[in-house]
Structures are given as structure tokens and as C-alpha cells.
Chains A and B, each alone.
Chain A
Amino acid sequence: MAGFGFAFMPPMAAAVLFPPVTPRRLVFPRDHGAHADFRSEWWYVTGWLDGPHWSRGFQLTFFRVRTGHGEDNPSRFSPRQLLIAHAAIADPALARLRHAQRSARADGLYAGFRELTTDVWIGEWFLRLAEGRYQLAAKAEDFALALELDAASAPLLHGATGFSQKAPDARHASFYYSRPQLALRGLLTLGRHREAASGVAWVDHEWSSELLPEEAQGWEWVGLNFDDGSALMAFRLRRANGEPLWAGASFRDGEGRMRLYGPSEICFVPLRIWRSPRTQIAWPVEWLVSIEGWELALMPLFDDQEFDARRSTGAIYWEGAVRVKRGARVLGRGYLELTGYGDKIRVGR
């Protein structure tokens, strides 16, 4: 599900009608663009960067939120649409994330999004899709990213048509597709040091109005690029007592054959807990994911990949580069996302 949203609650005063998510076939390139009527939306890019002697993870996410406020205010600062961006570099040498976040109202100049295709920006941070390539850039005090991702393969539509159910009640659902196995090239700057990098990336795009049911405390999500060219997305929603609420997974092999899994077929088992010295939150950073008896171990690049985003989206989450193993064999690499281990996560609701 690649991302999460806002701990922001809906405004009481706002008489805004958000469109419901009902099954339909996604249409591209239109659906690469923004869906401004829906409450929340995100474009999420993760991946592994490889240099001559190193491997590092990266994340760049753009969130769009229709707040329900200022709908009829002609001001350029009207908070109708908010954009928030998170960027992070997972560098094992530092053993914690370098991360940065930006927030802005979408005024169409300094910050904005387009509906025709993926094109979203806040100042000099951007993500856009043009001529079959994603381009992205982000710059913070101690790091900078400028990458190009080759989006040759077709989008992977979750829930077959891109309609991804999140709870027993089909009201809680999103439109959701992924772009796995994207070859990437670009530049990574750490401090004053700039290096060329290549690697494999993953892009998610998801939008919704009513993502989570009230009883959801948080979720585990994983997006894996296997070395053989196949890809797996799996997620599980938890209740406050830790019991699973819903789950889903999509697998696509190197030839493009799809396989979908339902809640009864997916099991997430935590293997090891790491406690954050900053927030005291206990994060299960190693997992055993079994899908229909297929067992995969997730091992983090390093433990401390906690992202404190309380200033922008209001949440603390764990977003980390992981290796996927079966026994001692590394099968591939990807990203793991953990939410709701501190306070309950709230998406658009």
C-alpha cells in the first residue's frame, strides 16, 4: 500500500463530498496523474542504489491531501490541496536515515500537481513521468537525489483492476498500482560528496477517500524486486491488539503472469524487535512472510530506519531497505514499511 497518509482528521465544518472508491478499470496515462477530488493520494518511490563499493536505500514520497478547508477561498494560500514530501537515504555507514520533509499548499507555482500524468512538485523537489521515464529530485541540507527510472514495463494493477480492498467492508478501498523492477541511474549527494549510482526502483501510486476502517491500528507493507525479474507486493492491516484485520498480495513473474492472494493466504510473523532510542517505539524489523506456504525472510539493511514525520504528516513510521532471503540465499531486495507501532495511523480519516 506503499505509503500512508494523514493523521489529520476530517474537518467538522467542511461540507465537502469526497468521491467513493468503486471498482473500475484504470486508464493510463490519465491515472498516472493526480485525482484531486479524492481525499488522499500518494506517489511513492523506493529503491536500492548501488555504487562501486556500496549499496544504499532511498525513498521519495509525495502526498497530496484534499483537506476540505478553503474550498471556496480564492487565495493562493487556500489550503484546499496540501502537498507533503518525504525523502530519505538509508546509508549503512551512518546506520540511521538521513531524511527531510517539505509541506506546501498546492498553488500551482511553487508547489503543485498535474492530472494528465505523474507530475508533482514542491519547490525544487519533484517527481514526473515523461516519455516512459520517471525523473525525480530532492535536496536537503545533508543529501540530494537526482534519479531517472526506466518505466518500460506495464503497471502492476493490484486487485486485478487496480481496485484494492483494505478491509472486510469494501467501502475501505483504494485505487492502487505499482511499477516494480525499474532500472535506475542518477546522482546521489551525501554531504559534499556526489556519486553516480545505478540500481532497481519501485514506484507506487495510490489514491482513496476512505482508506482505513476505524479499528485499524497500522499496517505492514512490503514491495520486493526479485533478482529473477519477478515482483511481490504484500500488505497486512492490524487491529490494536495486533491481530490481523485484512491482508492482500500481488505477485508478477518475469513473464508478466499475475497471481493475487487474499487475507486467508497471507501470514506476517515478526522475528526480531528493535527499540528506537529516540521515540522508545519497538519496531519488528525482521519478518517472516508466508504466502500460501511460500516463506520469505525480510532482513533490514540496518535497524534504525525510523522516519519521524510528526511535523508534516503527523506520524512516526519505519520505512526501510530490506533484503529478502530464503534460508541463506538472497532472492532480491525491496522496501518494508511499518506503521501504527507508536500512535494509531490514520489515513485521510
Chain B
Amino acid sequence: MSLARVFFASFRRRKFSTALAFLAIVLGATLGVAVHVVHEAALVELERATRELTGEADWSVHGGGQAFDDALWSELAQFPGVSAAAPVIALDLRLFLGADQAPLSVPLLAIDPLVHLEWAPQLALRPWHERLDVLAEDALFLSPAVLEKLMDLGGLQSDPQGTQTVTVLVGERRLALRVAGDLPGLAENHRLAVMDVAAAQKHFGLQGKLTRIDLKLTADADLSALRARLSPGLVMEKPHASTAPAARASRAYRVNLGLLSGLALLTGLFLVFSAQALSLARRQTEFAFLRALGMPPSVLYAGLLAEGGLLGLAGSLLGAVGGHAVAAWALSRLGGDLGAGYFAGLAPEWRFSWQATLLFVFLGTLAGLLGAWLPARTTLRMHVAQALKALPTEPLPLVAIRPQWGAAMLLVAAGSLFLPPWQGLPLGGYLAVAFLLAGALIYLPRVSQALACVLARNRFLPPSGFLAVSRIAHTPAQSLLAAAGVMTSLALASAMAIMVHAFRDSLDHWLAQVLPGELYLRAVAGRTPAGLLSPELQEKLASIPGIQRIDFTRHEQLALFPGQTAVTLLARSHLDVPVVGRTAATEGPTIWISEALADLSGWRPGNVVEVPLAGALYRFTIKGIWRDYARQHGAIIMELDLYRKLTGALGVHEATIQLTPDADETRVKEAIERLAHPGTLEMTRTVELRAKSLAFFDRTFLITYLIEGVAILIGLAGVAATFAAIAAARRREFGMLRHLGLTRRDIGLSIAIEAGVIALAGVSMGLVGGFAIAGILIEVINRQSFHWSMDWAIPWFALGVFAFAMIVLAIGAAIAAGRAAMQPAAVFAVREDW
């Protein structure tokens, strides 16, 4: 006798529930592997790109993006122990492609080509005409990837002599630069433009400034003496250290996606469990027979485990293949951060990941095994003689767990909320969610029993109702199975819905506050030194008729903490920002810090802190904390006038414009456009900008929604399958009831009431759990992984529809299955028993 036929053949008999469990595991593994592969590829690419840009440099000195005085270069180049020092200006260039096209963004590296040749041969410039062009002021060298892109988009202009030029956007001006050659040493997909450092200083208003110095040191160099020479705001680190913050920043995002995949695997586990539990209950007689024939219990046990394990293995293998496929698609379409914006400008390459494959095949198989384990153990404990006679046994000992355990789980959940984040990850929050669900699961049968008791006290309950109630009271295991599915999927779905709704709502309010006025204006060149609007333009703007008020903002990057991503400084004309919590009474110069910065630095309102600006340290009092959804690495806000007084820098990056009530918006726009070179300024109505931001929000959450939706659908189908299977397993019972004189209608009503009560229990527990988990998501998980708070907002309508749909679906599924079970003649159903 083939054992495979005994065990695996049963899959065929319950194709639907087997397929569901399989699908959930496939989904979990696919998602997990895809996220892993995409991220691995992005990090490999990020590291390679960083290596390409820094070559063999031992150390990099930088101010987090803020430009610093280039006198430091002369000093460092002559410092004992420094064998070479390379001056660098790194910024983002916007190449003009035409009035109707968005500009092409290309990272620019301005270097001393002669010095760089010695240690970064991959950055070798290949002049097409004159060798000395590498030093020419009007010359730009483009990587093959950029050239190709420009040719595709028509961004290259040729003159009759065959000289090709590109138009670079600088503030409100346009600058034509000659494409003098290419960068043959760079990787095919690496987008980069290179020019001489002196030329960049001249063109981009960075006279006397650098953004980075790369150093090669001798073995005996004195690092601390070198560091002591750096002015405030400058850090010296290993070049590869700059990839670490990006990896850290995207980690929370990645972990959240990874958790969704875990959720899908968990759903799979649950589905395997419920399918196996019911299937084994139905196959009891069969197994008892095999045991009576002499099959050792260990073989039976192993066979039953193998059923689940095989399902998990097959599902996760398929998922691993699917995951790699999805990753390949996502990398080509969405980029290495799945559209979240962490690795802009990189084009990572797909590669096979053994690590991810093995991990998720293991997890998937484990889910299958665990799902099969408890039902298998129950089957093993059966009384052979009784089972042969097909006396019904309770399939699960789960309900025997004492309520104290539930209380303990909830206590642990509450306790883990207070755990600090582990390496920036909100593990405490995730633990709390897991324990909360476990605790709720233990209480679930009691809730449905309590509901049944309440119903039982109702004098108007028909006999079929009593039947339903007493079934719930006496077979808690089956009702647990059904209700658990309802509860879990509703809890997770509603939690997610509440969180996203609250987030979106808070974002909407926030946008209104940070984007006041009617018009938003900025240089297309962006928030780099190349994107500064000149003081002359600012003055002219203010005198345009129809403008009631104009607020300017300047952006700056500050390396506040070594090893961390730079903190953004916003200098704004007015400080009407969204405030969180209390504000302190302050004297002298003040700043506001964002929630992320408060978490990162431990700074609190009222503290006096030192902030480096333009090479000097200044003391500020922290006035308060502001909410910032835009910058996860932290941001400081100060008054523009104060910033100008301290740094002497007058340029600004953007402006919000409030019109007079009678102003003609089109006229004002035209007047503004006349002040600048065509194509250099970008004007958006703030209303549109807000809408765009919300659309972007929705897009970032789209993948989350999608996966969540699929997981819930599978969960729902699982619930329906569970109800159907329970009803189907009760064919003998229905036959008996028919013999006792109950009509099909009565039995149908009884099934409906039973399903309804169970679903109601699941839904109510699910909603309670959902609110609790939403709370954990909002107050702990988001707070710890993204460092921003949000105000509660609850999508009552969506939750109501969802809860109602759950109950209707459960009742519908149970009635449909009950009908099917009542189809054969009642006589036969009874005869089966004896």
C-alpha cells in the first residue's frame, strides 16, 4: 500500500481549501523574496555607485551637503600624513529638455580631473576633441547612460560645427554647456555628469566653496589631529559609511513590507491548520482503521505532518520563483526602493538571492508543518475503538487553554509597547501585535459562548435557535476555528485601514499648513546650490502687483551627527509650522526641530543646542517640536532673516505666494515668468501641489493596499471554506435532525444563526483588536520607524461595510454548505453512522 495515497490523496478531496492554503503561502513567499531581492540589489548598486564616485579614497570630509570654505582643501592637502586631497563639488543638475518636458535630473561631480585620475580611474574623462577640455569652463562630460537618455529625449543641441551642447538650469537662469566628452570607465547604467571643480564654483554660485574633500592618507597619519582641523559642521568618514544611513532609512520601510509577507505566511499557516483540522476530523475512521491494521503511530504522525510540510514547501518554492520574477519587474519599473524614494538615481540590477530563497522556503515549509502539527497530534491521541465506531471527538484541545493565559498574553502585549526600538526597528510594537492577537484568540470561544448565552436567555428564540446556541456552547473548537479567521482578518484589515486613514488625514492638514497661499514657486534646478533664486529676483517678485504676501524658504543640509544622514535646515520667512506638544519660553535665537530630529538627538523644547552654520557654531534655544512628514532624517526650521544674518547667504530655493483677493492669477504668473529665463522656474498652484502630494501618498501605499487586499481576500475565502467544511462535516447530524422532524428550513435557520453568532463574535473581537492594533501602528510602530506622529481619524463607514460583509459572507457560506450537506436523503446520512 502506498502511503502517499493514504495521505496526499486527501488534497484532491478538498481542492478548494488546499488551494487557498497553498495560495497564501505562495503569496507570503513571493512578497518576502521580492522585497528581499529588490532591496539587496539596491544596496549592492548603492555601494558600487559610491565606490565608483570615491575611487580609492580612504576618507571623505563633508558637511552633509552644505558647502564649506575651500581654504580647507589647501590646508588638508599640505597636512602631514595626507598623501593626496581631491576637491569635490557634488550636486544635482537639471538638464533642460524643452518647455513641454520635465528636466532630466543628473548627479554632477565636479572634480580636479588630474588628481582624480590617479585614484579613481573609472572616472577618467574622455575628451572628444581637445585633451585640455577636461579643464574647460564650458565643458561637461556625461556618462554613457546620460548621453543615451539625452539622445532619446532630444536634450542635445548641435551647432553647425558639430559641437553638442546641453542646457543646464541654474536658479532663474539657463546655462549652455558643451558636451566635451564622455566617461567610458563608468558602469553602463550609472548616471553621472562630471566637470572641472573651478568651473562648477563659477557657474553655480559656489565661489570659494566645496561640498566634499576626498583624502588619501599615509599609514602614519594622525586622524584626530586631522579631525581637529575641521570647522564645525564638517565630518570625516570612510566613503562607504555614506551608504549606511540610506540602508538604515529604507530598512523600516523594508521591514514593514517584510511583515506583510509574514502576515500572508501566517494566513497560510492558519488556513493549513483549519483545513487539516477539519479534514483530519473527517478522516478519523480511516486513520483508526489504519491503526487497527497495525500502522505505527509515528508513521501516521509523520505522514500527517508531511501533508502540511509538502504544501508549505511547494507553495514557498513557487513563491520564491514568483518573488524573483516580481523583483525583476519591480526593479525595472519602480526602482530599488519600490517607488518610495530612498535610492533616487540608481538603476539596480536584478540578481538571484540564495539567502532570500532559502529563508522563505524554510519559513513557508515551517508554516505548513506548524499548521499540520496540532491537528496531527490530536489525531494521534484518538481512542482507536471509539474512532472506528466514528463517535465524534473534539478535534482540538486548543479551547482547553485557560483564560489566564489569554490575560498573560495581553499583559505581555501591553508590556512590549514600552520596549525601545531595536536598531531603529519597532520590534516591541510588532511583538505587541502578535501577543494581542494570540490573547484575543484565547478569549474568542468564550466571547462566542457568552454571546450564545445571551441569546439563549431570549424567550422568543425558536427551537432551531436553541439548537444553534447549544452547539456553540458545546463545540467551542469548531466555532473557534471559524471565528478566528473572521477576527484575524478583520483586525488586521481594520487596523491598517484606520492607520492609513489617520495618516492621510493628518498629511492633508499638514500640507495645508506648510503650503500656505495660492502659488508655489521654485527653481526647476531643485533644492541644491544650483537651484537658488537670486536676491534680485526676490526683490522683483515682491514688487509684482497682485501679490499680497510672499514667503521664502531656503534649504540646507547639515551633518549634525557623524554617521547619520544629514539633517535638513529650512530657513523660512515665517514660522507658522504645525506644532506638536508644548512650546518653551525662549530668549535669543530660536529654532524648531522636527519629531524625527527630537527622537534622533534627544533634544527637547527649552534646550540650548549648538548648530553649525557656514563653518561656525551657533547656539539656539529650541522653541518647540514641529511635525514634518517630508524628511524622515530630521529637520530644523529657523527664521530666514536669522539665517541670513548668521551666514550672509541671500539665495532662497522656493516661495509661497498669497495673492490679493482681486488679483488675476494668470497675469501674476506671466509677470513672474518674465523675470526669469524660460523654463527655469516652476510654478504650481498650492491646491494642485497638495493633491499631488496626496496622490503620491496613495501611490506609496498602493503596494501595501494591494498586498493587504489579497491577504484579506484569501482570509475571507478561508473563512467561507471553514464554514462550508464545518457544515459539510455535519451531514449525519443534519440527517438525524431531519429524522427528528425538523424541516430543512429549520435546519437552515439554525445554521444561519450559528454562523451569524460566531461571525458576530469574530467581528466584534476583530474590531476591538483592530482598534488596538491601529493604536500600536500609529503610536508605536510608525512613531519608532518613521518618527512621525499623526492624529486619529477613523473610517467608520469603511469599517462598518467591512464588518457587515464579513457576517453576511459567513452566514451565506454556512447556509450554502448546509444546503449541500442536506441534499442526500436523510436516511442514508443516518445509516452511515451505524
- Give residues in A with beta carbon < 8 Å to B: 6-13, 67-70, 73-79, 82, 84, 103-105, 107, 109-110, 123, 311-312, 314
B contact residues around A8 at 8 Å (CB):
130-132
CA distance A13 to B135 in the complex (A): 12
B114 touches A13 (CB 8 A): no
One of B191-199, B235-243, B810-818 at the interface: B191-199
B74 touches A76 (CB 8 A): yes
CA distance A79 to B112 in the complex (A): 9
Q: Output the least CB separation between B206 and chain A (Å).
A: 9
Dominant SS among interface residues on chain B = helix
**Residues 128-157 of chain B, each 1 if its beta carbon lies under 8 Å from chain A, else 0:** 011111011110000000000000000000
CA distance A76 to B197 in the complex (A): 10
B contact residues around A84 at 8 Å (CB):
114
A110 touches B207 (CB 8 A): no
Give the contacting residue for B136; candidates A11, A76, A82, A105; CB below 8 A: A11
CA distance A347 to B731 in the complex (A): 102
Give the contacting residue for A105; candidates B112, B130, B137; CB below 8 A: B112
B136 touches A73 (CB 8 A): no
Given the known interface contacts A110-B77, A110-B78, A123-B78, the answer about A314 and B198 at a Cβ–Cβ threshold of 8 Å is: no
Dominant SS among interface residues on chain A = loop
A109 touches B74 (CB 8 A): yes
CA distance A252 to B201 in the complex (A): 51
Q: Output the least CB separation between B138 and chain A (Å).
A: 6
A contact residues around B73 at 8 Å (CB):
76-77, 110
A contact residues around B196 at 8 Å (CB):
69-70, 77, 79
Considering the complex, which residues of chain B in the window 163-218 have a beta carbon less than 8 Å from any beta carbon of chain A? Answer: 196-199, 201-202, 207-208
Say yes or no for B117: interface residue by CB 8 A criterion: yes
B contact residues around A311 at 8 Å (CB):
114, 117-118
B202 touches A314 (CB 8 A): no
Chain B: residues with Cβ within 8 Å of the partner, total of 29
A13 touches B132 (CB 8 A): no
B135 touches A67 (CB 8 A): yes
Given the known interface contacts A103-B114, A110-B77, the answer about A67 and B199 at a Cβ–Cβ threshold of 8 Å is: no
CA distance A95 to B229 in the complex (A): 43
Give the contacting residue for B115; candidates A6, A10, A103, A109; CB below 8 A: A103
B contact residues around A314 at 8 Å (CB):
131
A75 touches B132 (CB 8 A): no
A77 touches B70 (CB 8 A): yes
B131 touches A76 (CB 8 A): no
What residue of chain B has the Cβ atom nearest to residue A82's Cβ?
B114
Say yes or no for B375: interface residue by CB 8 A criterion: no
- Give residues in B with beta carbon < 8 Å to A: 70-71, 73-74, 77-78, 87, 112, 114-115, 117-118, 129-133, 135-138, 196-199, 201-202, 207-208
- Across the A-B interface, the 8 shortest Cβ-Cβ residue pairs: A103-B114, A79-B135, A77-B198, A75-B198, A8-B132, A110-B77, A109-B74, A69-B135
A contact residues around B208 at 8 Å (CB):
75-76
CA distance A74 to B198 in the complex (A): 9
CA distance A9 to B131 in the complex (A): 6
Given the known interface contacts A70-B198, A76-B74, A110-B74, the answer about A12 and B137 at a Cβ–Cβ threshold of 8 Å is: no
CA distance A73 to B136 in the complex (A): 11
A107 touches B74 (CB 8 A): yes
A contact residues around B202 at 8 Å (CB):
73, 75
Given the known interface contacts A77-B87, A77-B198, A109-B74, the answer about A7 and B131 at a Cβ–Cβ threshold of 8 Å is: yes
CA distance A73 to B198 in the complex (A): 8
CA distance A240 to B214 in the complex (A): 42
B contact residues around A12 at 8 Å (CB):
129-130
B contact residues around A7 at 8 Å (CB):
131
Given the known interface contacts A79-B198, A103-B115, the answer about A73 and B130 at a Cβ–Cβ threshold of 8 Å is: no
What 5 new A-B contacts, CB under 8 Å, besides A9-B130, A77-B201? A13-B137, A69-B137, A77-B70, A78-B198, A311-B118
A contact residues around B115 at 8 Å (CB):
103-104
Q: List 9 A-B contacts (CB under 8 A).
A: A69-B135, A69-B136, A76-B73, A77-B196, A77-B197, A77-B201, A78-B198, A79-B135, A103-B118
Given the known interface contacts A11-B132, A76-B74, the answer about A312 and B114 at a Cβ–Cβ threshold of 8 Å is: yes
Give the contacting residue for B137; candidates A9, A73, A76; CB below 8 A: A73
What residue of chain B has the Cβ atom nearest to residue A83's Cβ?
B114
Q: Output the least CB separation between B329 and chain A (Å).
A: 43
Give the contacting residue for B138; candidates A10, A13, A68, A75; CB below 8 A: A13
Q: Output the least CB separation between A333 and chain B (Å).
A: 32
What residue of chain B has the Cβ atom nearest to residue A65's Cβ?
B132
What residue of chain B has the Cβ atom nearest to residue A140's Cβ?
B83
Q: Output the least CB separation between B759 and chain A (Å).
A: 74
CA distance A13 to B138 in the complex (A): 9
What residue of chain A has the Cβ atom nearest to residue B130's Cβ?
A9
B74 touches A10 (CB 8 A): no
A contact residues around B131 at 8 Å (CB):
6-9, 314
Q: Output the least CB separation between A68 and chain B (Å).
A: 7
B contact residues around A77 at 8 Å (CB):
70, 73, 87, 112, 196-198, 201
Q: Output the least CB separation between B218 and chain A (Å).
A: 9
Q: Output the least CB separation between B247 and chain A (Å).
A: 33
CA distance A170 to B12 in the complex (A): 100
Q: Output the least CB separation between B487 and chain A (Å).
A: 68
Give the contacting residue for A75; candidates B130, B133, B136, B207; CB below 8 A: B207
CA distance A311 to B201 in the complex (A): 24
CA distance A13 to B73 in the complex (A): 29
